[in-house]
């Protein structure tokens, strides 16, 4: 069982107060976030046809939950892992203009996940996507959007403090930028997760850039599907999380692939067969807008702001009975 029990843990809020706080954080954050990045809320699917190529392949080894329906009996339907690619299609379909964007509530099932304090079979996040120009596909654009997201999260700390002063977690005042290769050079003898912990503990909040390519060591910092993020223009936002003594990833985001980087990344992964799928062809033929986008974990944000020890305290999911029982002994009440 993968479980960390913080010493002398106190959730502060009751179960009903926690539910109230969860709603407050989610309602308030999405309004502030949408306003800051000029995003419009739209509806999104829970599942897509496998043949569309729209599902997120994550690290390439996870198997989506799938089923068949009568009308498409020869085309399996997959529960989404995320909406990384679907959002870009939606921007075209709904005729979003330059610097306009969308966000949506994304719910997913990741059945291959190993559950622990931070990971669940159930994923809930705000998926967002925004139209940019070809010449805006650069590091400056990426960093500008990262800073805006950090500013909204930091503002949420003050909002939560005003309403729940006894429960709020205090966050750092700034975010530090570093590439995955710079991080490996800094801590060459540590694993990727250990490096994340060291740098995040040092700065409080970091954005680790350029994730997906093989590093000088011959290893990748982390896996990334080759068909949505440009691996030279992406990254993760991590906060140092004192209760669990580890880095807590709140967002994965990036500037999306163009017609060139899509092909290059598929060749590196030997996935050229995917390039014939409708979504991939639309990028190659320049039929989709150039975009930046990502996901922000809803439950993880609630966990971060309320200083909770387990993601199950802020979302309803399924946990091993042994974990439920052990958590209860230490005032960690899983929903």
Q: Is residue 265 part of a domain?
A: yes
What pLDDT, on a 0 to 100 scale, did the predictor assign at position 70? 85
Q: Is residue 187 part of a domain?
A: yes
44-53, 157-166, 269-278: least confidently modelled range = 44-53
What pLDDT, on a 0 to 100 scale, did the predictor assign at position 60? 63
Q: Is residue 7 part of a domain?
A: no
Is 56 catalytic? The answer is: yes
Q: Is residue 92 part of a domain?
A: yes
At residue 34, does pLDDT exceed 90? Answer: yes
CATH number for the domain spanning 92: value is 3.30.930.10
Counting every residue written for the chain, the total comes to 335
Is 52 catalytic? The answer is: no
56, 124, 127, 229: which one is catalytic? 56
What pLDDT, on a 0 to 100 scale, did the predictor assign at position 6? 94
30, 252, 261, 298: which one is catalytic? 252
Element (H, E) at 227: none
Measured N-to-C along each axis, helices 15-37 and 298-306 cross at an angle, to the nearest 10 degrees, of 120
Do 238 and 196 form a contact (C-beta atoms < 8 A)? yes
Q: Model confidence over 227-246: pLDDT tens digits?
A: 989 999 999 999 999 999 99
Q: Extract the tokens encoding 140.
A: 């400056």
Q: Model confidence over 276-300: pLDDT tens digits?
A: 988 899 999 999 999 999 999 999 9
Q: How far apart are CA 170 and CA 107, in angstroms?
A: 28
Is 236 catalytic? The answer is: yes
Element (H, E) at 102: strand 101-109
Q: What phi and psi values does residue 230 have, to the nearest 5 degrees?
A: -80, 120
Is the pTM here over 0.75, yes or no? Answer: yes
236, 265, 300, 313: which one is catalytic? 236
Strand order in 290-297's β-sheet? 39-41, 101-109, 122-132, 290-297, 246-256, 229-241, 205-209, 176-179
26, 88, 110, 256: which one is catalytic? 110
Q: Provide the pLDDT confidence category of residue 29 given band limits of 50, 70 and 90.
A: very high
What pLDDT, on a 0 to 100 scale, did the predictor assign at position 52? 79
Domain count, the chain: 1
125, 251, 298, 299: which one is catalytic? 125
Q: Is 64 exposed, middle or buried, given 0-12, 13-18 or 19+ CB atoms closer than 10 A?
A: buried
Element (H, E) at 294: strand 290-297
- If you average pLDDT over every residue of the chain, what do you get? 93
Q: Is residue 320 part of a domain?
A: yes
What pLDDT, on a 0 to 100 scale, did the predictor assign at position 59? 65
Q: Model confidence over 193-227: pLDDT tens digits?
A: 999 999 999 999 999 999 999 999 999 999 888 99
Do 330 and 9 form a contact (C-beta atoms < 8 A)? yes
Q: Is residue 63 part of a domain?
A: yes
Do 253 and 146 form a contact (C-beta atoms < 8 A)? yes
248-253 mean pLDDT: 96
Is 281 catalytic? The answer is: no
Q: Is residue 334 part of a domain?
A: no
Range of 199's domain?
A: 15-329
Is 110 catalytic? The answer is: yes
Do 332 and 313 form a contact (C-beta atoms < 8 A)? yes
Q: How far apart are CA 157 and CA 135, in angstroms?
A: 34
Q: How far is CA 90 from CA 125, 223, 246, in A?
A: 17, 25, 36
Q: Model confidence over 98-146: pLDDT tens digits?
A: 999 999 999 988 888 899 999 999 999 999 999 999 999 999 999 999 9
124, 249, 258, 313: which one is catalytic? 249
Q: Is residue 10 part of a domain?
A: no
Q: Model confidence over 62-111: pLDDT tens digits?
A: 788 888 888 887 888 988 887 888 999 999 999 999 999 999 999 988 88
């Amino acid at each position: 069982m993968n479980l960390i029990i913080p010493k002398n843990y106190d959730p502060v809020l009751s179960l009903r107060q926690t539910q109230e706080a969860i709603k407050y954080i989610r309602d308030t954050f999405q309004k502030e976030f949408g306003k800051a990045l000029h995003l419009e809320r739209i509806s999104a699917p829970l599942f897509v046809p496998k043949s569309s190529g729209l599902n997120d392949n994550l690290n390439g080894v996870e198997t989506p939950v799938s089923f068949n329906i009568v009308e498409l009996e020869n085309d399996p339907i997959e529960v989404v892992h995320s909406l990384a690619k679907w959002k870009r299609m939606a921007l075209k379909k709904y005729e979003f203009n330059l610097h306009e964007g969308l966000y949506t509530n994304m719910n997913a099932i990741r059945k291959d996940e190993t559950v622990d304090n931070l990971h669940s079979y159930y994923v809930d996040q705000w998926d967002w996507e925004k139209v940019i120009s070809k010449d805006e596909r650069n590091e400056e654009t990426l960093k500008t959007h990262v800073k805006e997201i950090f500013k909204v999260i930091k503002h949420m700390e003050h909002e939560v403090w005003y309403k729940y002063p006894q429960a709020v977690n205090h966050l750092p005042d700034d975010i530090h930028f570093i590439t995955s290769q710079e991080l490996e050079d800094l801590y060459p003898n540590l694993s990727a997760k250990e490096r994340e912990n060291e740098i995040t503990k040092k700065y409080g909040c970091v954005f680790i850039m350029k994730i997906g390519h093989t590093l000088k060591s011959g290893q990748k910092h982390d896996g990334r599907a080759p068909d949505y993020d440009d691996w030279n223009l992406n990254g993760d936002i991590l906060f140092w999380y004192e209760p669990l003594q580890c880095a807590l990833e709140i967002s994965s985001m990036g500037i999306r692939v163009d017609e060139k980087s899509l092909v290059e990344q598929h060749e590196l992964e030997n996935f050229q067969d995917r390039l014939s799928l409708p979504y991939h062809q639309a990028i190659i033929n320049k039929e989709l807008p150039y975009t930046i986008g990502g996901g922000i974990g809803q439950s993880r944000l609630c966990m971060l702001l309320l200083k909770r020890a387990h993601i199950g305290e802020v979302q309803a999911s399924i946990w091993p009975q042994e974990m439920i029982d052990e958590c209860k002994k230490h005032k960690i009440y899983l929903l």
